[in-house]
Amino acid sequence: MNWSWDFVAQITPALMQGLLVTVEITLLSSVAALVIGLFFAVAKMSSIGFVRRLTILMTEGIRRTPLLVQLYFLFYVLPDLGILLSPFIAGVIGLGLHYATYTSEVYRAGIINVPVGQWEAARACNLTQRQTWTEIILPQAIPPMIPPLGNYVIAMFKETPILSAITVMDLMGEALAQANFSYRYLEPITLVAAGFLIVSLCSAAIIKLLEHHLKLRAA
């Protein structure tokens, strides 16, 4: 099969629309993963034994099962229980929850690395738990976490093709639709690979610049 630039021009608008959906899902899932991951990290360090054990059980259960199975559960099983999610929403929830279990470990490592003296100083100043976390601990813990958290965002972006399994018309979904309709796979799949490579490289470069900026500020 020869490469056809005419076919490339024909399918490019659909693939660009799919890329836009992919970026939207990545951004929304990233926000969910970062917020829920922080909640998981704090809960796993809670002094309340029940909360700590329940959170560990939940996060381990999510992390130890395949993302594809979780997506199928959200999209195909929940409707049997009366909960109907669109492919887009199911994809955002699935990716966000799955990667929240990984970002929680990044948060936990960063929080543990905050010197014990900071906690003691907060108690000596009679700060509340909320003030200790928001004004003392997290401002010190989060900056070193940004590079690994950024890498997880890139990983989520590269994971989005799996969402085509629940009929999400992202970049991969659009490419498969075009390929199945025309019986030409060379151009769509090649363009998908190129698109993911370009966006991933640009994202990695931005993370490197951000990491360099943080190091300069800390110096």
How confident is the model over 64-115, as pLDDT tens digits?
999 999 999 999 999 999 999 999 999 999 999 999 999 999 998 888 888 8
Q: At what angle do helices 5-44 and 138-159 cross, to 10 degrees?
A: 140
Residue 119 is predicted with a pLDDT of 81
Residue 77 is predicted with a pLDDT of 96
Here the tokens at position 99 are: 């990667």
Rounded Cα distance between 100 and 65, Å, is: 14
Other CB atoms within 10 Å distance of the CB of residue 153: 19
Phi, psi angles (nearest 5°) of residue 2 = -90, 150
Here the tokens at position 191 are: 């363009």
Return the minimum-mean-pLDDT range out of 32-41, 130-139, 182-191: 130-139
Residue 1 is predicted with a pLDDT of 61
Regarding pTM above 0.75, the answer is: yes
Rounded Cα distance between 69 and 212, Å, is: 38
| 9 CB-near residues (< 8 Å, 6+ apart) | none
Residue 114 is predicted with a pLDDT of 83
Please write the tens of the pLDDT for every residue from 48-69: 889 999 999 999 999 999 999 9
What mean pLDDT value characterizes the chain?
90
**For residue 18, which of 190, 192, 144, 136 has the smallest C-alpha distance?**
192
Domain residue limits, the chain: 5-218
| Residue 145 in this model has a pLDDT that exceeds 90 | no
Residue 176 is predicted with a pLDDT of 93
Domain topology for 5-218: MetI-like fold (1.10.3720)
Residue 87 is predicted with a pLDDT of 95
Calculate what percentage of the chain has a pLDDT beyond 90: 68
Residue 218 is predicted with a pLDDT of 59
Q: Residue 25 in contact with residue 94, Cβ under 8 Å?
A: no
Residue 56 is predicted with a pLDDT of 94
Rounded Cα distance between 21 and 8, Å, is: 19
Residue 35 is predicted with a pLDDT of 95
**pLDDT band (50, 70, 90) for residue 146:** confident
Which residue type does 113 have?
N
Rounded Cα distance between 177 and 183, Å, is: 10
